[in-house]
Chain A
Amino acid sequence: MAESYTTTKHAEGHPALQHHFENMEQQREAGTLGMWVFLVTEIMFFGGMFLAYTLYRSKYPAAFASASNHLDITLGAANTGVLILSSFTMALAVYGTQVGKRKLQLFCLALTIVLGLTFLGIKAVEYKDKYVDSLIPGTLIPGHPFSPAVQVPGESFDEHKLHLLPGATVKNVEMFYWIYFAMTGMHAVHMIIGVGLLSFLLFFSVKRRYGPEYHNPIEVTGLYWHFVDIVWIFLFPLLYLLGRHLEHGG
């Protein structure tokens, strides 16, 4: 706990000090702990969906492998690279703010936003492909039910057609796809919120609000961004990399 205790109604010091805190140290501690607690709630939130994934994957392994193979691994891997790079630029932005390197701070914040938008753009392309191939599950899009073209044995390989491994049914493949959309969709929502937060930070950084004496908002937003990245690191292998060996040799 801090050393000095103010006795006045308005705390003196940094203009960013909120009136109910004793000093900046306490405010910084509270903000950081608050973000960590929030991230724990996010783990519990995503956890329910990971549980559903685990359950249904163990129930329908062949269907999950078939569906996973049918996802576009190039786009998925590209997105993974984009996000990892964006976590790096985010960390650099935090560093830049902490040591007062303003150009680095602004550039890296902007670059993180661009990378985040790139991720969302690639995701949009993937979603559009699913729509075109009639892979949207259930009656999410009225009039456009789940009815992928299935590869008939003997036919030449067509990447738009779903190849069913032995034991897989289209019904169970649909199960994979709702989990895919629920999890990546929820993740994308969090990305959008992250991009929004970063935009705020960039705007106020231009106005010179953050620097070595006050950089906690950037730090805690960095925590949030890294968390969203980590969720994707789990999603990518679980959704995109199942059973690749069955399909592509090995």
Chain B
Amino acid sequence: MRAIETFEPPAPSKVNYLNAEYGLKSWLLTRDHKRIALLYLGSITFFFFIGGIYAMMIRLELLTPEGDLLQSTTYNKVFTQHGIIMIFFFLIPSIPATLGNFLVPMMIGAKDLAFPRINLLSWYIYIAGALVTIYALLAGGVDTGWTFYAPFSTTFSNSYVVATGLGIFINGFSSILTGLNFIVTIHTMRAPGMTWFRLPLFIWAMYATSLIFVLGTPVIAITILLMAFERLAHVGIFDPALGGDPVLFQHLFWFYSHPAVYIMVLPSMGVVSELIANFSRKNIFGYKFVAFSSLAIAVFGFLVWGHHMFVSSQSVYAGMIFSFLSFAVAIPSAIKVFNWTATLYKSSISYDTPMLYGLGFICLFTIGGMTGLFLAALAVDVHLTDTYFVVAHFHYIMVGGALMGYLGGLHYWWPKITGRMYPEAWGRFAALIVFVGFNLTFMPQFVAGYMGMPRRYHAYPPEFQVFNVLSTAGASILGFGMLIPAIYLVWSMRYGKRADANPWNLPGLEWRTQSPPPTENFETTPVVTWEAYEFAPPEEIEVIGRLRGEFENV
């Protein structure tokens, strides 16, 4: 029995990317993708908690049927801003800009991304967009819903629509540049021997996500620009009173915003592939199928936007085409779930925190994905659209899916990023709390939705109260569960157990350099001669069955 060691670990050096240079300027003018990833980590965590505060305000208001906690205009701003912050300033950048930035070069054996200065520019653009949006929030907020439907947003809202739109517009360029950087890096900077089908599935997922970044984000940019233009200049693009078409806004908006949800979940799926394979010490079952599923989701995701518009006066025939394609896009996701599950068969599973988040993802994403089928089915969507069913569905994907993957990945790569381990017992405890709290928050909302409770309602008829009370109780537990990692992860950066190069004993390229890594990632450029998730050379595999006396011969 020997450890998975097929290489000589580098002699640990005291110099790594964190202490190579000191001072504010060395961080604010860094070209190191790892430092930029940390800059992003701090920024998106800040916005996550702002978005979370808005969420708590929503849930507190909805404890009672009357609108008695907040004025309706305030409530409308709260849910709008919750959506905008969580989507544009947390979820969309989360995995790509933190874990992606940190790991893409390392996992392919490169020294950095293709365009390090553009990477830094991405972060500054994000900050610029964030500052403009914060200004808009502090100046008075925006109350159009994150979907900015016209003509309410262009003509009737009295809130800071243009400022918020500008903030999101600027932020979009951050995404576009990150996606561009990843695509070029993955194409041109793989280490020798790192062929496409030896890439970790996280890289495939980041590549597919980058395709969406690059193709979809410009469309929301121009849509916001046109909306702002109309609001300022009253030209009649979307306002029917001036000859425009409000449904055109919806088409332009959803053409990006549907692929955007795949931007939010694909990276998380990539992380889950890593977690499942590495914490069960087995290659992903059906590697090529999982890889191509990511691409298929990215491509098909551009063809289904009309399923947000089944009741909008869109043609019935267009609705049928969008419904069919929406069912089709669910299939690659189902394939992934089955492949992940099959990977666990006859594997060797450890119950570390990252694995718990990975398993939680599979379970909750299954629920979220299947409830999406309810909404793809035209007749049922007619009843369910714009109710709490939709809210529950997308939170299952965004929180139960994307956020779980993010937390799992953060814990998995924490020792590599910081050189310290987080406290495992607290990690498992928090994962459990988050899982329980999350389900209690959002499962009742499915029921409330089918019962008819519309979304974006500040006050509601009393028969929906029981579901709202359960949901708020769950949200409190979920909020508490989120605070725990915030505390112990920060604590671990100073007091956590020091981690060596490969604390989990894994074959990935990122584990073949010290923790934290040196600025140029690898002492020498690696030459890859093994397949993805190859835990030991084939001739040295200890067959798990033999250890348990299940097999006679091997």
A5 within 8 A of B: yes
- Binary B-proximity of A1-27 (CB < 8 A = 1, otherwise 0): 100011101000000001111100010
Q: Are A19 and B111 interface neighbours, CB within 8 A?
A: yes
Q: Does A29 contact B (CB under 8 A)?
A: yes
Cβ of A44 and Cβ of B216 under 8 Å apart? Answer: yes
The answer to whether B525 touches A40 (Cβ under 8 A) is no
Is B128 engaged at the interface, CB distance under 8 Å to the other chain?
no
Q: Tell whether B49 is near chain A: CB-to-CB under 8 Å.
A: no
**Who on chain A is nearest to B177 by CB?**
A38
Q: Is the CB of B176 within 8 A of A41?
A: yes
Chain B positions within 8 Å of A48 at CB level: 218-219, 222-223, 226, 252
Q: Across the interface, do A178 and B115 meet the contact criterion of CB distance under 8 Å?
A: no
Interface residues of B in 140-192 (CB under 8 A from A): 176, 180-181, 183-185, 187-190, 192
Interface hit among A64-72, A108-116, A134-142:
A134-142
> Bound state CA distance, A46 and B226, in angstroms?
12
Cross-chain contact B527 with A5 (CB below 8 angstroms): yes
Q: Identify which of B3-11, B230-238, B395-403 touches chain A.
A: B230-238
Does A175 count as interface, using CB distance less than 8 angstroms?
yes
Q: Which of B110, B219, B234 contacts A44 (CB 8 A)?
A: B219
- Interface contact B183-A29, CB-CB below 8 Å: no
Provided the pairs A9-B520, A37-B183, A52-B226 are in contact, do residues A30 and B114 lie with their beta carbons within 8 angstroms? yes
Q: Which residues on A sit within 8 Å (CB–CB) of B323?
A: none
Docked Cα-Cα span, A51 to B256, in Å, equals 14
CB closest residue in chain A, given B173: A41
A33: B residues at CB distance < 8 A: 183-184, 187-188
The closest CB in chain A to the CB of B526 belongs to A5
Does A138 contact B234, Cβ atoms closer than 8 Å?
yes
Q: Are A30 and B184 in contact (CB under 8 A)?
A: yes
Knowing A30-B115, A33-B187, the reply to whether A138 touches B236 (Cβ < 8 A) is yes
Known A51-B252, A139-B234; contact A29-B188, beta-carbon cutoff 8 A: yes
Bound CA span A44–B184, Å:
18
- Other-chain residue from A7, A44, A45, A46 in contact with B524 (beta carbon distance below 8 A): A7
* B221 surroundings in chain A (CB, below 8 A): 45
The chain A residue with its CB closest to the CB of B114 is: A30
B510 interface residue (CB < 8 Å to A): no
Chain A, range 45-69, C-beta contacts under 8 Å to B: 45-49, 51-52, 55, 59-60
What chain A residues lie within 8 Å of B131 (beta carbons)?
A: none
Is A47 touching B235 in the complex (CB atoms < 8 A)? no
Contact A34 B114 (CB under 8 A): yes
Residue A230 at the chain B interface, CB threshold 8 Å: no
Quote the shortest CB–CB distance from A97 to chain B (angstroms).
22
- Interface residues in A134-153 by Cβ distance below 8 A to B read 137-140
B229 close to chain A: CB less than 8 A: yes
Does B386 make an interface contact (CB < 8 A)? Answer: no
| In the assembled complex, A171 has its CB within 8 A of some CB on chain B | yes
B541 at the A/B interface (Cβ < 8 Å)?
no
Cβ of B214 < 8 Å from any Cβ of A? Answer: yes
Closest partner residue, chain B, to A25 (CB atom): B188
Q: Which of the four size classes fits the interface of chain A? A: 35 or more
**Contact at A20–B111, with CB atoms within 8 Å?**
yes
Of B114, B215, B235, B525, which contacts A174 at CB under 8 A? B235
Which of A18, A40, A175 is B215 in contact with, Cβ under 8 Å? Answer: A40
| Interchain CB contact (< 8 A) of A178 among B111, B112, B236 | B236
Q: Of B216, B232, B233, B525, which contacts A22 at CB under 8 A?
A: B525
Partner of B218, one of A30, A45, A171: A45
Residues of B within 8 A of A41 (CB): 176, 180, 214-215, 217-218
Contact, CB under 8 Å: B525 / A5: yes
On whether A34 and B236 interact (CB within 8 A), knowing A41-B218, A52-B226, A55-B245, the answer reads no
Within 8 A of A (CB), among B197-217: 214-217
Q: Are B176 and A1 in contact (CB under 8 A)?
A: no
Tell me, in angstroms, the Cα distance from A41 to B181 when the chains sit together.
Answer: 13
**A25 to B: closest C-beta gap in Å:** 9
Contact A47 B219, beta carbon cutoff 8 Å: yes
Q: Which residues from chain B contact A129 at a C-beta distance below 8 Å?
A: none
Q: In the complex, what distance in Å separates the CA atom of A21 from the CA atom of B31? A: 13
A126 adjacent to chain B (CB < 8 Å):
no
Contact call A44/B215, Cβ cutoff below 8 A: yes
B189 touches A30 (CB 8 A): yes
CB < 8 Å: which of A7, A20, A49 contacts B110? A20
- Of A30, A38, A52, which contacts B237 at CB under 8 A? A52
Q: Which residues of B contact A42 (CB under 8 A)?
A: 218
Per-position 1/0 for B261-296, Cβ under 8 A of A: 000000000000000000000000000000000000
- CB of A44 to closest CB in B, whole Å: 4
11 new A-B pairs (CB below 8 Å) besides A44-B218, A52-B237, A178-B236?
A30-B185, A30-B189, A33-B184, A38-B180, A40-B214, A44-B215, A48-B218, A52-B226, A140-B232, A171-B243, A178-B235
Would you mind naming 28 contact pairs between A and B with Cβ atoms under 8 Å apart? A5-B525, A7-B524, A19-B111, A19-B520, A20-B112, A21-B189, A30-B188, A34-B180, A34-B184, A37-B184, A38-B180, A41-B214, A41-B218, A44-B217, A45-B218, A45-B221, A47-B219, A48-B219, A48-B252, A55-B245, A59-B245, A60-B243, A138-B233, A139-B232, A140-B233, A171-B242, A178-B237, A182-B229
B-to-A contact residues, CB < 8 Å: 110-116, 176, 180-181, 183-185, 187-190, 192, 214-219, 221-223, 226, 229-230, 232-237, 242-245, 248, 252, 520, 524-525, 527
